[in-house]
Amino acid sequence: MSRLAGRFAALRGAGRTALVPFITAGDPHRGATVPMMHALVAGGADVIELGVPFSDPMADGPVIQRASERALLHHTSLRDVLDMVRDFRRTDGQTPVVLMGYLNPIEVAGYGPFAEAAAAAGVDGVLTVDLPPDEGHELLQTLRGAGVDTIYLVAPTSGPERIARICAAASGFVYYVSLKGVTGAANLDLGPVAEKVAQIRGATALPVGVGFGIKDAETAAAVARFADAVIVGSAVVSRVEALADRPDEIPPALGELMSAMRRAMDAAGAEGGR
Q: Which residues are catalytic?
A: 49, 60
Q: Is 35 in the site for another protein (CB under 8 A)?
A: no
> CA-CA distance, 164 to 168, in Å (whole number)?
6
Find the binding residues for another protein in span 229-248 (CB under 8 A). none
Q: Which position among 35, 42, 89, 104 is part of the footprint of another protein (CB under 8 A)?
A: 104
Radius of gyration of the chain, Cα coordinates, nearest whole angstrom: 17
Q: Is 22 in the site for another protein (CB under 8 A)?
A: no
Buried-state track 19-55, b at ≥16 Cβ within 10 A, e below 16: bbbbbbbbbbebebbbbbbbbbbebbbbbbbbbbbbe
Nearest approach in angstroms of CB 193 to another protein is 14
Q: Which position among 57, 122, 172, 233 is part of the footprint of another protein (CB under 8 A)?
A: 57
Q: Is 51 in the site for another protein (CB under 8 A)?
A: no
User: Closer CB to another protein, residue 35 or residue 156?
Assistant: 156
Query: For residue 266, with 0-12 CB atoms within 10 Å meaning exposed, 13-18 middle and 19 or more buried, which class applies?
Result: middle
Q: Which position among 181, 247, 269, 273 is part of the footprint of another protein (CB under 8 A)?
A: 181
Nearest approach in angstroms of CB 252 to another protein is 30
User: Is there a contact between 159 and 151 (Cβ–Cβ < 8 Å)?
Assistant: no
Find the binding residues for another protein in span 118-157 (CB under 8 A). 129-132, 134-135, 152-157
CA dist 171 → 47, 110, 164 (Å): 15, 21, 13
Strand partners, 99: 50, 126
Q: Which residues are near another protein by CB under 8 A? A: 54-59, 61-62, 65, 69, 72, 75, 77-79, 102-109, 129-132, 134-135, 152-159, 162, 166, 177, 180-182, 185
